[in-house]
Structure formats: structure tokens, C-alpha cells
């Protein structure tokens, strides 16, 4: 279910109030889902994502700061707000996906979306820059918006920009709102392909729950589960029981759910992450 506010559309909108409005819509829809007389009864889940473009993108940070029940944020060419969306980002720990246009001169990434992204306290966040994307082409044609970027309309079409957003946004939403485990792998695979985009990402990799180890004549055979269709795995080894991801030795990376390690050391420690 998608709900769109029509508030704060004047020439001098309240950014804070718009953030409150976004958060209110989340609570209202979830309340309707629990109300027997509502047409939404039983149809609204407990997860939610606030989104917005430009001022609305900045306000999405204010919304999430005001309501800790919001699950995730995804925004388009988010613009700095008053109070500061950049400042609010530091108070957020939920997953966030920030879209930016590389040729946006209305809310330039260096002074708007990038400070928001870097300021986030989230342990899973991504920044996607659409190559040749502009500010206004994240939305439908709007004369006023287009007038504001007359000198920097972007070098790709509006439909191409929309397609790239949808291509990356849908698996993000499927994973964080629907708990579709394979969607995380799809999202990661699409990011790393870098077709029409560049990206930044900081995301704690989940460890696989079950790892069995059996000694063999050549070393040790490791097998892990659960196995997620379409996912790849990183198998890492340490000589001490310290699992800081960046300090471990990656001995396998791929889609299989088992690996034979020919290590000759008497002791080794292993961990598997979904890649």
C-alpha cells in the first residue's frame, strides 16, 4: 500500500510538519489495518518505509526521527531541510537507501544527499548515484521544477532514470518490508553490476546460522545452511576466535553451500556470511 500526503505544498512549507505528516500516515494506515470496519482491515503489515523526493526526501529523515516504528527509508534527490535532515540522519539506525542524480544542480549530491548518507548511524545503508540523472527527472514532468534545472537537465531520459530507480528500489523494499531473503542478494548483485550507476554501501553482512565442520584426509569439509536461492557466500577463516570481517581471510566466495579447506593448522575458526 502506498499513501501520498498532499500537505505542505505552499511556497513556504514547514519541513518539520511534513515529516510529521509522513510519520502520521504510517501510523494511520497501520491503525486502519487493525480496525474491523476499515477497508484496509487485515491488509496492512507491521513494516513501513517512508520515501520522498527533494524536500520530501529530506523530510523522510525527519519523519523517521520522530517515529521509531518506521522500518526503513528510501528517498530521491533528498534536499536539506530546516530543521536539518543531515542532522537527523545521525539519530537513525534503520536501513536507508539514498538515490542521487550525478548531474543534479538543484540539490547537489555533495551538499545534500552525501552528507545525509555519511551522517547516518545505520548499520545498513546504500547510496546510489544515477549516472547522468537530474533532480527533476526522479518525478513526472513539472514545469516549475524543470525551470529550476534548465541549465542541467541531465543526460539520460526521464524513463531511463525511473527504470534505474525501480530496478534497485524493489528488491530493497522486498527485503526490508517483506523479509524476502533472496531479495537482499538480488539487491546486492544489481549494485555490484553498476549498470548506469555508481554506489557507496555500508552494510553488516549476516552470518549463516548453521555451519558444520568435518575433518577429512585433506583438511576440513565445511557445510552451511540455510541456503538462499540466488545468493553467494563468503567463507572466512581466522586463527583466533575474533570475527572482525575486515581482518579475516576469505577462503571461498561463491554460490555453493560447502567447501573443503586444506588448512594444515591445528586450530582454525570459520564464519560464513551471505554476500
Give residue limits of the domains in the chain: 15-203, 210-274
Say which DSSP state 222 is in: E
Using DSSP's 3-state secondary structure scheme, residue 104 falls into coil
Query: Strand runs (DSSP E) across 77-174, as ranges?
Result: 96-101, 124-130
Whether the bond into 226 is cis, omega within 30 of 0 = yes
Closest Cα to residue 16, out of 69, 78, 88? 88
Hey, what CATH topology would domain 15-203 get?
A: Rossmann fold (3.40.50)
Please name every residue paired with 128 in a beta bridge, in sequence order, or none if there are none: 99, 199
CB atoms within 10 A of CB 70: 21
CATH code of 210-274, in short, is 2.60.40.10
Q: What is the full per-residue pLDDT of the chain (275 aa) written as tens digits? A: 999 999 999 999 999 999 999 999 999 999 999 999 999 999 999 999 999 999 999 999 999 999 999 999 999 999 999 999 999 999 999 999 999 999 999 999 999 999 999 999 999 999 999 999 999 999 999 999 999 999 999 999 999 999 999 999 999 999 999 988 788 888 988 998 999 999 999 986 666 778 888 887 878 888 888 777 667 788 888 776 655 555 568 888 888 888 888 875 556 777 787 77
Measured over the CA atoms of residue 191, residue 192, residue 193 and residue 194, the dihedral's sign is positive
Do domains 15-203 and 210-274 share one topology? The answer is: no
pLDDT at 240: 67
pLDDT at 1: 92
pLDDT at 31: 97
pLDDT at 234: 82
Residue 260 φ/ψ, nearest 5 degrees: -105, 120
Amino acid at each position: 500500500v502506498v499513501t501520498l500526503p498532499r500537505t505542505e505544498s505552499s511556497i513556504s512549507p514547514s519541513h518539520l510538519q511534513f515529516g510529521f505528516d509522513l510519520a502520521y500516515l504510517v501510523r494511520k494506515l497501520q491503525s486502519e489495518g487493525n480496525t474491523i470496519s476499515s477497508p484496509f482491515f487485515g491488509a496492512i503489515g507491521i513494516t513501513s518505509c517512508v520515501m520522498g523526493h527533494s524536500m520530501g526526501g529530506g523530510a523522510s529523515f525527519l519523519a523517521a526521527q520522530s517515529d521509531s516504528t518506521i522500518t526503513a527509508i528510501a528517498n530521491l534527490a533528498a534536499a536539506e531541510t530546516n530543521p536539518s535532515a543531515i542532522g537527523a540522519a545521525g539519530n537513525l539506525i534503520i536501513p536507508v537507501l539514498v538515490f542521487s542524480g550525478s548531474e543534479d544542480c538543484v540539490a547537489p549530491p555533495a551538499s545534500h544527499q552525501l552528507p545525509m548518507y555519511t551522517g547516518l548511524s545505520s548499520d545498513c545503508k546504500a547510496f546510489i548515484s544515477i549516472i547522468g540523472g537530474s533532480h527533476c527527472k526522479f518525478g513526472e514532468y513539472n514545469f516549475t521544477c524543470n525551470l529550476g534545472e534548465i541549465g542541467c537537465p541531465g543526460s539520460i531520459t526521464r524513463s531511463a532514470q525511473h527504470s534505474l530507480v525501480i530496478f534497485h528500489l524493489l528488491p530493497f523494499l522486498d527485503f526490508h518490508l517483506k523479509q524476502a531473503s533472496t531479495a537482499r542478494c538480488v539487491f546486492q548483485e544489481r549494485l555490484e553490476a553498476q549498470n548506469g550507476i555508481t554506489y557507496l554501501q555500508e552494510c553488516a553482512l549476516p552470518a549463516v546460522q548453521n555451519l558444520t565442520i568435518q575433518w577429512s584426509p585433506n583438511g576440513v569439509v565445511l557445510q552451511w545452511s540455510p541456503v538462499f536461492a540466488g545468493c553467494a557466500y563468503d567463507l572466512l577463516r581466522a586463527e583466533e576466535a575474533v570475527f572482525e570481517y575486515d581482518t579475516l581471510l576469505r577462503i571461498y566466495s561463491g554460490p555453493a553451500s560447502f567447501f573443503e579447506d586444506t588448512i594444515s593448522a591445528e586450530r582454525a575458526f570459520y564464519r560464513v556470511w551471505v554476500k
